Every structure is written in structure tokens, then in C-alpha cells.
Amino acid sequence: MTAGLTSALPAGTRQLRDAFGRFGTGVAVVIAGSNPSVAAAVTINSFVSVSLEPPLVSFSLAARARCLANFLDAREITISVLRHEQKSLAANFARPSTARWVGLPLASTAGGQLIVRDPLAAFECVPERQVPAGDHVILVLRIRHIHLGATGPPLLFFSSGYGSFLPDNGARDDWERASAAMGWG
């Protein structure tokens, strides 16, 4: 066993949450509905590509989430993959019970579904299946439309905080220019 690692499953969830938090993930906003007055939206970091053929993705929500019924009953769901500059939007929907819709950079798809404006990518989906899994429900969705949006660094979640990523392509000048632009200095 390597020093600093433990092998026993922790009795409480804090240590397990901390361990899961060491895995960096992308951040997305999922929206069920076309009218902000009744739509549900939540920030997720559980977005996963499942299959290319057929085109499937998934995400999970806590079984006790107040908005779960909205997603389970939805006929369409949009997923917007966020850019680093959209951190405030992610924070807004991280706690759905306090989320505010007024003045947010949202748009409507051709089908009328709400979607985040200028994401890295967005997916219009229809529910394919729901899978209870422990204290969560996994929603598997079939992609109907793809939107490739703005370019730039993605918003990532790591160790309970937001950050970003730039690919290591060996171009030191690009890294320095991007670091300066991001204020990393």
C-alpha cells in the first residue's frame, strides 16, 4: 500500500465525497422545459457520453432532488457544456431551489427548448431510459440535435471548486498567452 492511501471504505460520506472530488469533470447545465416559469434546470458534473450508435448520453440526479420529477416527466431535455467564462451560470443552477432565471444568457432551440447561449457544445435530447442507482437516478438520453458552440477553455469541477483546462500541446507561447488572459499570471 502506498503511503497516504487507505483501503477501508469510510463509514461516512464526507471522505467518499472528497475522494470522488479528486476526479476532475466537465460542467454542464441540463434543462427540462421551454418556459422558465415552470422549467427545471440544474448544474451537473455527471455528464457522460454513452454510445455513438445510437447517439446516447447520460447524467445522474439525486433521488431526493426537488427537480427530479421534472426530468423524469420531460419529453425533451437539453444539455449545455459550459465554457470557463460561464462559471456564474453554473453557480446559479448548482442549487436549483435558489436558481434565478431573470437576465440569464438563455436561448431557445428550433423546437422551443431552453438552452444556454454560447456553450462549448449543446445537445437536444429525448429520454431513453431511467435507471435507479443507489441514492441517484441515471437518465439515459438519445441525442436528436448537436450544437457546436463557442471555443475556449471548458469549465471544470475539481475538489469542490471550479477551474479550467488548456491542452498540453507543447506550445509554451499559447500557454503563457492563455494564462495571462485567464488571470493566472
Range(s) of the domain holding residue 120? 25-158
pLDDT tens, position by position, 105-149: 989 998 889 999 999 999 999 999 999 999 999 999 999 999 999
Sign of CA dihedral 10, 13, 17, 18: negative
Asked whether residue 183 is assigned to any structural domain, the reply reads no
Per-residue confidence band for 103, with pLDDT thresholds at 50, 70 and 90:
confident
Number of domains in the chain: 1
Q: Is the pLDDT of residue 176 over 80?
A: no
Tell me the pLDDT tens digit for each residue of 10-69: 666 788 888 888 888 999 999 998 887 788 999 999 999 999 999 999 999 999 999 999
Q: Which pTM was predicted?
A: 0.83
Residue 119 lies in a domain: yes
Inside any domain, residue 49: yes
Task: Give dist(CA 80, CA 111) in Å, integer.
Answer: 16
| Domain assignment present for 153 | yes
CATH number for the domain including 118?
2.30.110.10
